Each structure stands twice: as structure tokens, then as C-alpha cells.
Structure 1
Amino acid sequence: MHSSWPRRGVYAITPDETDDARLLARVDAVLGAGAVWLQYRNKAADAATRERQATALLPLCRRYGVPLIVNDDWRLAARIGADGAHLGEDDGDVAAARQALGTGAILGVSCYDQGALARDAVAAGADYVAFGAFFPSPTKPHARRASLQLLRDAAPLAVPRVAIGGITPDNAPALVAAGADLLAVISGVFDAPDPAAAVRAYRACFDVAPTSPL
């Protein structure tokens, strides 16, 4: 992973959006408010739509200096020249994705509620590990639940730790204090009445949360 990419902050994940222009406008507001990473995710779209939307997001992300990470599909990420990919447990082999994407790409892996998955992912070449859901999430209401201790225990892996799942500006400081480097949010930002204000509220959590002792 390029050392120039920020390692702390708001990791915005796109909602399922059918209108390309509306997607770009929504993302523009969020990046303008200070989100540091963007993941393109659209579970409802077909392959052609995903490729078109992800490609359209690239110049927007370049303008803000924010890496574009493609969810689920490292082949799509490689094809369009995205900055990286994020893999869930059914999205293929981490080592194969790393080899295909090269050393400069960001490769993230969902580790849910399992520290062992995180250790395996880093050993296979992951640049960051994501844990969650920490709180009930409207996006994944039945997701496995992760504990704050999981974030603390993953500190020796020495890669950014991403927290996801029902995160709000009210509960986020506890996650940051436990070691979360990036707060991944979908509905908390994109469904907010003012998404830009929501991003700023999440960003503020990094200013107030103390660093947790290891």
C-alpha cells in the first residue's frame, strides 16, 4: 500500500445507487467534507453497471486525492485501474488478489469477528483488516457482531484496522479509543440529512478519542 495514503479517518462506502449522476453528486459531497478513502459497493447492480459506475468515480477520487477501492471484485479493480480492492470471505483468495494487483494496490479483507482471519489475511498480503459489525447495521441487520477487544488484539498486526457496522458519531469514539484507524460507514453518511455534516461529525471522533493502551 502506498505510504502516502492516509491511515486514519472516514472510510466512506457507497450505497446501492441506480442513478450514476446522483451517485457522483452524493460522493462528491462526502469527499469534499473530508472522507479519506472511498469504497465502491453496489450489491444490487449488474456487472456492466458496476464497471460503469466505478470507472466514473475514478476521476472524482483523483481530484480529491482519495483512493478508490472496489468491493468484492479485484478483477474489476485491476481492469479499471482502481487503487485497490476489498474482499469478503467469498470473494476469492487474498494471495492471488495481491499477486494480480501488485504491491502498490490497497488490499483489504473483511475479518468479521475473528482475529485468526485477520492474521491469515495479513500473512497473505492484506494491507488492512476490517472488523464488524460492531453495532446493529441497517445495511446488514443479521451480521456477526465484533467486540472492541478484537480491535485491541489486532494492534500487533501493524496494519490499519477498519471498524464497520452501525457506527454513529456517538458510538465511534469508543471504537477509535480501542484502536480503529478507519471508520467505515454507508448509511451513517449517505442516509444522513446532511452527508457532509455527518462526515465532519465522524472526523471529529478522531480528535477527541484517546489512544488506547496496548
Structure 2
Amino acid sequence: MTGTLAEAAARLKPARTRHGRDLPRLWLVSDPQRLPDPAPALHRAPRGAALLWRPYDLPPAEARTRGRRLRRLTRQRGVTFVVAGDVRLAAILGADGLHLSEGLARHGVLAAVLAWRHRKGGRLLTIASHGARALARAGDLDADAVLLSPAFPTASHPGAPTLGPVRVARLARAASCPVIALGGITPETARRLPPGAVSGLAAVGAWRPTPP
């Protein structure tokens, strides 16, 4: 499945970050329950993809150990490494980017974000969004991209309301930075997104091993 998802991502119009770097169009997203160890999936990721690693609830020592292993692997594979929710851990690991949840972006991590952005030019800042307010906040924080979700029904949040392809496209057109679609993204649902609507595809389930 990931191969055809990679093909769908490759057809998207390229976008650039605030620093002029190419923004990854295909994103592998870890999940504490559904994909806690993204290392096997990384071996199937093409060069130029991105890993959004969410080390939620991991003890600090374990997060550093796992993070160093993933950092080595992403370098070997030519994959952009983005750490979610922890500015200090991202800096320790030499991550390529930092990702903030919608709640963190809303509740006062501006000083940490600014410190991150000025440590070294070119590092990514991505923000999670579920609607127009968070998209506007991402612009205020000078984000490089927004992960907009849930685009489609997803096993991570069964029964939760979804945006759907039309609203995803409408929100993306109004955004001040590139939008990456997340939530129920498969090769099939990616084809339902209007052409030019988003700059990237992000997924959890599509990267899980297919049962024999």
C-alpha cells in the first residue's frame, strides 16, 4: 500500500518551507498504539519522505534511546526526522523538525518555538490543525506546514467527525502555509482529494504491515 501512496504523493505539486527547502510530500506518522515503532516502516519509505515521531508517554531515557536509533536510521534512509511535542528532545537528537499539537500551539510554547527556530536555519516547524483557527495560529507561529486532520474516517479516532475532501480543500486554500492531509489517508482516499488541494500526505495505518 505504501508504494502506491508514495506514487500519489509524488503527483502532488512540490512546496517549499520558509527557508526554501523542499517540503516532504510523503509522511510516516508514528502512533503510540497503532504504530509505536516506526523503524520497520522506515525501511519501506522512499528517500525524501518524512517521519513524524510522536514519543508520547515514553520515559525520558527511553525516548532518547529510541530517538537516537530513529535519528540514525532516518539519516541512512534520507528521511526527514521530525519530533513531536518536545523541543528539548528534538534538539538533543538533532532532529530536522519540531511538530506541535494544536493544544501546545494554543497554550504557550512560543518562547520554546522561537528558540528552536533560531538554533539553526532551515529546521522545520509543523503544527497540527483540525480547523480554521489552528490554521491561522500556524501562520502566526510562522510554521512551515500544517498537518490537517482528520481528512477521512480513521481508526485512531473511530466515529469522530471528519473534514472530508471538500472542506480539506477549502481550508487548504485559505491557509498561509502548505497543508499536509492526515487521517484515513490511503491510496484510495488520496485520489478523492481535489487536485492541488494539499502539499503532502501523512498516514499511520497505511504504513502498517499487511497481514499475510
Note whether the superposition's TM-score is higher than 0.5.
yes
Gaps spanning 5+ residues in structure 2: where? 1-16
| Residue number among 148, 171, 182 corresponding to 1:164 in the alignment | 182
Distance in 1 of aligned mates of 2:99 and 2:57: 17
Q: Match for 1:182: what amino acid?
A: G
Per-residue CA distance 1:148-201 (angstroms, 9 max, x = gap)? 32433333534221111111111111226261211111112124349xxxxxxx
Distance in 2 of aligned mates of 1:94 and 1:72: 10
Match of 2:68 in 1: 55
- Sequence identity percentage: 27
Gaps spanning 5+ residues in structure 1: where? 195-214
Match of 1:64 in 2: 77
Instruction: Find out whether 1:46 has 2:59 as its counterpart.
Output: yes
Over 3 Å counting, the alpha-carbon distance change for 1:127 and 1:87 in structure 2 is same
Distance in 1 of aligned mates of 2:139 and 2:109: 9
| Residue number among 93, 100, 104 corresponding to 1:87 in the alignment | 100
Q: TM-score, normalised by structure 2?
A: 0.75
Aligned length: 188
Instruction: Find out whether 1:16 has 2:32 as its counterpart.
Output: yes
1:82-161 alignment to 2 at 5 Å? 82-91=95-104, 93=108, 95-102=110-117, 103-112=121-130, 114-141=131-158, 143-148=160-165, 149-161=167-179
Structure 1 residue ranges (4+ consecutive) displaced by more than 6 angstroms after TM superposition? none
Question: Is residue 13–residue 38 contact of structure 1 (8 Å, CA) maintained in 2?
Answer: yes
Over 3 Å counting, the alpha-carbon distance change for 1:42 and 1:192 in structure 2 is farther
| Residue number among 164, 186, 210 corresponding to 2:204 in the alignment | 186
Question: Is residue 139–residue 176 contact of structure 2 (8 Å, CA) maintained in 1?
Answer: no
Q: Which has the higher contact order (CA 8 A, sep 6+)?
A: 2
Alpha-carbon RMSD: 2.8
